[in-house]
Amino acid sequence: MKTVECDVLIKNIGQLLTISSKNVPLTNPNRESLGIIENAYLAIKDGKIIDSGSGRSRIDADRVIDADGCVTLPGFIDSHTHMIFGGKREREFSLRIRGKEYLTIMQEGGGIKSTVYATRAESSEDVFETSNRHLDRALAWGTTTCEVKSGYGLSTEDEIKILEVAQMLEKKHKMDIISTFLGAHEVPEEFSENKKGYVELLLKEMIPEVSKRKLAKFCDVFCEKGVFNRRESEKILKEGLKHGLHSKIHADEFSNIGASELSDKVNAVSCDHLLYTNEKGLFSMKKSGSIAVLLPGTNLFLMKKKVPPINKMRELRVPIAIASDFNPGSSPVIAMPVIISLSCLLYRMTPEEAIVGATINAACAIKKEDAIGSIEKGKEADIVIMDVRNYEEIPYWFAQNRILYVIKRGKVVAGKKRRNLN
């Protein structure tokens, strides 16, 4: 008997990781939190998940994908990237390998400033083309939603240029893009003697303009020694809030100047990096319900041994997400499965914590938990099928692309098996 019709039915799923829960974000996730259904099916209609369960489905489908016993899970969400930039910084990479410090390179005109120079010099079309290709690569590794920050323009015009490119990518690329205004990424050269003037520009011109044009959902700030101090960061984020932009903080990455302690003052949705965070910062995050977004690719690329206080986060039940921090200087890593492996290897996160951190908790970090991040009825059908039989293989096969299918809103958009279907 024909029951419900669907557009796509995925059958023979070895392990379906639903990661569904009433209470998100998840703290201290374990195997149970993954909501595993063995020998499962998943039905999709009009781009949404309509059913899932164990055994054989009685649902009639237009198209059937045989998962052949493989692991199927929600598409990865990269909740922290600097995807849109001009130029590249491989020279700097060589210098760092030879022993030069990142902050020294930055003071000598390299680092963020050199990318600002390159990004300003390129046309919107060129920046769009490069970012579009980056997104293709991310998609091929199973990322179906991506947060993208501005911050390599640092003038009203150039910041808007970047955010408009993000808007164009959101329209034209299969990936969903969430935009963040990060005008407070660095003080631009022309304001090097007048930081106050740049903060004024952020407050009086850039934030209102970005908000008026509806170019961003979040406002972020690099709260760090030598960049923006706590007082300046608080002012900037509060102005963002006044203009409808939720707060994010680049916090405690190279030092602790109390960045994460700002969390409850600005109602931060996430605090990111957190290598030098202490209990005080974590308490503040707990109070404001902030997600800790950890970026192990940056650890690897900056060859830093310092790691975030994971045990303290577990003890205080601070929810953790993981992201790539994809950028041309400190993390050219774009693949979320690689980030999952690095979270385990460098931070000793468990595979369960890392998978939750790349799916539902990452959805919370961009305030999209109602639509994506888990496999539940009514959510977007953003799904990946990987060539593994057990989810613990995901971090284990380090840097091997085992993605068979990437499904975005019910359509196969990437993956090794894609050509068999389209």
Residues that bind Zn ion (CB under 5 A): 325
CB of 318 to Zn ion, least distance (A): 19
Most distant pair of Cα atoms in the chain: their distance: 76
CB of 3 to Zn ion, least distance (A): 47
Q: Is 390 helix (H, G, I), strand (E, B) or coil?
A: coil
CB of 36 to Zn ion, least distance (A): 32
CB of 326 to Zn ion, least distance (A): 9
Closer to Zn ion by Cβ: residue 82 or 96: 82
Q: In what order do the strands lie in the sheet with 320-322?
A: 76-78, 143-149, 176-184, 218-223, 246-251, 270-273, 291-294, 320-322
Instruction: Give the tokens for residue 142.
Output: 């199973």
Burial class, 229, CB count within 10 angstroms (exposed 0-12 / middle 13-18 / buried 19+):
middle
List phi, psi (to 5°) of 335. -90, 115
CB of 345 to Zn ion, least distance (A): 21
Closer to Zn ion by Cβ: residue 325 or 353: 325
Residue nearest to Zn ion (CB): 325
Query: H/E/C letters for each residue in 47-90?
Result: CEEEEEEECCCCCEEEEEEECCCCEEEECEEECCCCCCCCCCCH
CB of 254 to Zn ion, least distance (A): 12
Cα–chain center distance at 173:
17
Closer to Zn ion by Cβ: residue 159 or 325: 325
Tell me if 310 sits within 8 A of 345, measured CB to CB: no
Closer to Zn ion by Cβ: residue 325 or 382: 325
Closer to Zn ion by Cβ: residue 203 or 221: 221
Closer to Zn ion by Cβ: residue 325 or 352: 325
Bridge partners for 74 per DSSP: 383
